[in-house]
Chains A and B, each alone.
Chain A
Amino acid sequence: MSILEPRAEPSRRMVLAAPLIAAVAMLLTGSLVFLALGQAPLHAFAVFFLEPLSTAYGVGELFLKATPLILCGVGLALAFRANVQNIGADGQLTMGAIAAGCVALAFPREHAFWLLPLMLLAGALAGMAWAAIPAFLRTRFHTNEILVSLMLVYVAYLLLSYLVHGPLRDPEGFNFPQSQMFAPAALLPLLVDGLRVNLAFPLSLVAVIASWFFCQRSLAGFRMQVSGMAPAAATYAGFSEKGNVWLAFLASGALAGIAGVGEVAGPIGQLQPTVSPGYGFAAIIVAYVGRLHPLGVLLASLLMSLLYLGGETAQINLQLPSAITGLFQGLLLFYLLAADVFIRYRLKPRRAVPVTATENAQAAAPQGSGA
């Protein structure tokens, strides 16, 4: 028998509480994991969550790693609201990185101010182009965009790998599979000397605000939300389904592409076989933990970024395996999805006497008491 009963209306409180419940459950399970690894949970948590933030450099790293998550997460939240399941942000990010890298490598000695804007534009366009493929296939042939966008991630990875092993390999790079370092004019300016966080972070905040404005205030944002919630109502009202799919893919693709530029023109400074440790996938978790709301995405990105950093310090200081980061990310999403059940359902109150009918009491009791 089910112990859940549907709520009369979805609970608004649970919408906000679910991420917190998930975070607490993640910490509890995490302490079990730490125990199993022979670590004192409190100490391990301090290393994992507090130590990374104990220095200014660490805080800078937090913002640095949050940047691609915010950019991808904001775009994905937009797409998911429109019920467009873009799973391929990591591929769009990689394509953005490739395009920006090609621009940077084409002008190795350029000092002009237009180089960085051109790289950002190229990255955004490349991300859009990569996202346009699943958009076209879905609108034209009803192809499942989850599969197409996901598979294109690996195509993008392989393309990058081919380029750095072949045409774009640095001739003076001792045969390492990487490009030349970008010229200083092709690197995003740092915000604070000594920290690695760069101009991409404020750009990502602009994306948060713009996306918030789009979702809350614009008719186009309203259209996207309607077509995600009730496709038949969107068609009835005259909102083009195809238009919304395209818009969702292009917007999320452009933002992911810019995230890719932020990586290669930021901390990496060149093209390498991998430019993202899976930011585009982590951004899926970010989008849902952030309740598909731009401000929520911002907070979730910071949390997720902390998980990345904590995973690194845990590796260094506690000699824990690197998989610990992925484990915490997975736990968080897992518990969030579980906690989301309580938005629409609540626990059935236990009843002392499972009466159905006095005359049927004997007959009904076996089934009834199972509740």
Chain B
Amino acid sequence: MTEPAGSDAARAIARLELTGISKSYPSVVANSGISLRVMPGEIHAMLGENGAGKSTLMKIIYGVVRPDAGAIQWNGREVEITSPSAARRLGIGMVFQHFSLFETLTVAQNIALALDDSPDPGSLAPRIREVSGQYGLPIDPDRLVHSMSVGERQRVEIVRCLLQEPRLLIMDEPSSVLTPQAVEKLFESLRRLAAQGCSILYISHKLDEIQALCDRATVLRAGRVAGTANPREETARTLARMMIGRDLPTCRLTPREAGEIRLAVRDLSLPSSEPFGTDLKNVHLSVRAGEIVGIAGISGNGQAELLRVLSGEDPLADAGAVQLLGRAAGRMGPAQRRALGMRFVPEDRLGRGAVPEMSLAANALLTGYGEPLTHRGLIQFAQVRDFARRIIERFGVKAAGEQSLAGSLSGGNLQKFIVGRETLLQPKVLVVAQPTWGVDVGAAALIHQALVDLRDEGVAVLVVSEELEELFLICDRLAVLAGGRLSRAVRTSDTAVDEVGIWMSGNFATVPEADPVHAQGA
């Protein structure tokens, strides 16, 4: 490892300095003349909308992508980073937004494979436990990855990077899967890491987090640096304006009388089919027409299991356990539930919510396959293209066109496409998992507004999210899923973030007992 020599002299030298970095792809200029300075021990925020060029820039730093022009200096010396392993040799670690884990291997095996010296997974386990404990990211080294939720997988990625003792850590939205308390813990460890001289490049859409954690922020817009700022001297509003170039639309929830129950789960107990899954225990839930109900909680507490029961991907033996528009739907598969008017946004975008090797048009057909996109079993291609274009336009999906492959879109853009597809398919009941995962503030506002509009039109909306702020913004009622148990749903206006944070740890003692619709909590 290269330690900066001599303390005082080295202080003035940037850990990483980029000058005039440019990168173009056939259809888009991803980076144009970007300059960036990150000092040793600095926590530097990268802000920008989806497609602003953050990911490309990070890939350049990590050696995945070669820039067309520009220079990179590492500790004051010009370097050419030819590959991720070259980046790791320099001391650059990166936690990716899309996880590169082998599902059939254990956590320890995955981490051993990713380390350049490929140590024995068995001997690695104690170190994984130590690091994961130290940074408040509990993971079991012997667990198989395929049974883990998205949130848990991200923990594996973070721990993997920390094991390599990086001098610069690039983190792509690491907090999106953590509880407020865990985020605070992560921030503590990041600050500790920074105090030891490790620089951190922190990509996030959450402006409040950046204000709490970061020393400086560089804002990208359309591939260029839109400005740098001290986030503590800015407000969320001014930062957002730098990012999107205009004021952020705000979404407002007007009080409204909810209608009949459209989606209900009655006393559902379900042993998990996965060896490390979470059993669901006595889950009760109801969602009425014209309301948004939120389910808070960290991934891995039964979210995946509950969502698969709701979507019909795991049909139940007991038909009555799930009621959809007054019909016993427990045994119905996804197609039957869709036919009744249920729409669903899954938490996995690639491979589940969309087929990566197929075009956006084909992916519009994936769930939009009823009339008029098909007629008597035949695909109506003009209609399919129209529908795909409508999604792209309405939700500002950045893509070359409806023939682009879904896999070529950035995560946030694909998320916009999937949410757009499901909301434009005239739902009567909409179940959304992680609606704004990886999506920038501008697009998040758009998605939130789309969900609220559906609510105002009388659609029953269920949102499962790890982001409490989002839930408090758009939900009429809120329940917490922890350890496979679902709390009673309480009116969002009757509770606060801190209180819900406690429930998320599994302690439901303070959840109001009475029917939350009529009573004001304890």
Residues of A within 8 A of B (CB): 8-10, 217-220, 222, 226, 229-230, 232-233, 235-240, 351, 354-360, 363-364, 368
Contact = CB atoms under 8 A, between A and B. Distances in A.
Contact of A218 (B75, B334, B379): B379
Interface in B348-365: 348, 351-358, 362, 365
28 contacts: A8-B25, A10-B357, A218-B377, A218-B379, A220-B377, A222-B369, A230-B355, A230-B357, A232-B348, A232-B352, A233-B352, A233-B354, A233-B355, A235-B334, A236-B334, A236-B352, A237-B369, A238-B337, A239-B335, A354-B82, A355-B79, A356-B83, A356-B89, A357-B80, A357-B89, A360-B89, A364-B86, A368-B82
B55 to A, nearest CB: 13
Contacts of B312: 238
Given A233-B352, A368-B82, A217 B378 contact: yes
Contacts of A232: 348, 351-352
Contacts of A238: 312, 333-338, 367
Given A218-B377, A226-B366, A230-B352, A356 B80 contact: yes
B94 interface: no
A232 B354 CA distance: 9
A218 B354 CA distance: 19
B78 interface: yes
B30 to A, nearest CB: 12
Interface in B59-100: 74-75, 77-83, 86, 89-90
B208 to A, nearest CB: 33
B384 to A, nearest CB: 10
B355 A359 contact: no
B86 A357 contact: yes
B7 interface: no
A237 B379 contact: no
A356 B353 contact: no
A3 B476 CA distance: 57
Nearest to B335: A238
Given A219-B379, A220-B377, 20 more contacts: A10-B357, A217-B379, A219-B374, A222-B369, A230-B352, A233-B352, A233-B354, A235-B313, A235-B334, A236-B346, A237-B334, A238-B337, A354-B82, A356-B80, A356-B81, A356-B82, A356-B83, A357-B77, A357-B90, A358-B78
Main secondary structure of the interface of B (DSSP, over half): mixed
Contacts of B369: 219, 222, 237
Nearest to B312: A238
B2 interface: yes
B408 interface: yes
Contact of A219 (B77, B83, B313, B377): B377
A355 B311 contact: no
Nearest to A213: B378
A359 B374 contact: no
A240 B333 contact: yes
Contact of A222 (B2, B75, B83, B365): B365
Contacts of A229: 355, 357-358
Contacts of A356: 79-83, 86, 89-90
A220 B358 CA distance: 16
B82 A355 contact: yes
B344 interface: yes
B163 interface: no
B476 to A, nearest CB: 27
Kindly name the residue among A237, A240, A358 whose own CB sees the greatest number of chain B CB atoms within 10 A.
A237
A240 B335 CA distance: 9
A219 B75 CA distance: 58
A235 B314 CA distance: 10
B268 interface: no
B405 interface: yes
Nearest to B314: A235
Contacts of B366: 226, 233, 237
Contacts of A357: 74, 77, 79-81, 86, 89-90
Contacts of B334: 235-238
A218 B353 contact: no
Contacts of A368: 82, 86
B335 A230 contact: no
A356 B356 CA distance: 33
Nearest to B384: A222
